[in-house]
């Protein structure tokens, strides 16, 4: 079996990799760094998103990987590995700490069948190839994400569009 065949099976398990779990344990440190003058060490790929819980009305802040495409930002996650995105169902106003600045944004969960969700996931795994391989099981061909893998994975992924307001 070649390396590129590793991720082509539709029966791929979507267990959260150990390295992702370790990073999740470092969230307080990452959040502190992103809110500090040293944010430049991470803020090219990671932002802080703050929202109000729909049921609890509590304020939550979480560091999240993002990719920027024009005036839009995209966040991607797996539903079995996280729950933060549920607070954005139906749309939500959020606050971002983006490259050291606080900005407001409108968050929308994209329909998995939409071309924009496919575009967002493709951009995300292009920018984050290791995450693409580990979490989304998207192999690379000729330096780009394998299109058949991206199309398969978008159906079981959560893609969030953020537009600064």
Containing structural domain, residue 144: 15-164
Q: Is residue 50 part of a domain?
A: yes
Domain total for the chain? Answer: 1
Are residues 3 and 149 in contact, defined by beta-carbon separation less than 8 angstroms? Answer: no
Q: Is residue 2 part of a domain?
A: no
Q: Is residue 22 part of a domain?
A: yes
In angstroms, rounded to a whole number, what is the distance separating the alpha carbons of residues 128 and 32? 22
Q: Over the stretch 80-100, which tens digit does the pLDDT of each residue have? A: 878 899 999 999 999 999 999
Q: Is residue 48 part of a domain?
A: yes
Q: Is residue 83 part of a domain?
A: yes
CATH code: domain of residue 113: 2.30.110.10
> Residue 112, Cα to own-chain centre: how many angstroms?
14
In angstroms, rounded to a whole number, what is the distance separating the alpha carbons of residues 155 and 165? 28
Q: Over the stretch 106-158, which tens digit does the pLDDT of each residue have? A: 999 999 999 999 999 999 999 988 888 888 889 999 889 999 999 999 999 99
Q: What is the pLDDT of residue 5?
A: 36
Q: Is residue 96 part of a domain?
A: yes
pTM here is 0.81
Q: Is residue 8 part of a domain?
A: no
């Amino acid at each position: 079996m070649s390396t590129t065949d590793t991720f082509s099976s539709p029966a791929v398990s979507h267990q959260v990799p150990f390295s992702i779990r370790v990073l999740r344990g470092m969230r307080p440190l990452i959040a502190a760094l992103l809110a500090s003058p040293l944010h430049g060490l991470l803020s090219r790929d990671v932002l802080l998103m703050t929202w109000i819980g729909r049921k609890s009305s509590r304020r939550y802040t979480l560091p999240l990987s993002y990719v920027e495409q024009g005036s839009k930002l995209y966040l991607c996650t797996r539903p079995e590995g996280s729950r933060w995105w549920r607070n954005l169902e139906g749309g939500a106003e959020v606050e971002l700490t983006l490259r050291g600045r606080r900005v407001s944004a409108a968050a929308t969960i994209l329909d998995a069948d939409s071309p924009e969700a496919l575009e967002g996931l493709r951009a995300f795994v292009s920018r984050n190839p290791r995450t693409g391989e580990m979490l989304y099981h998207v192999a690379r061909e000729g330096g780009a994400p394998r299109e058949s893998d991206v199309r398969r994975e978008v159906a079981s992924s959560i893609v969030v569009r953020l537009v600064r307001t």
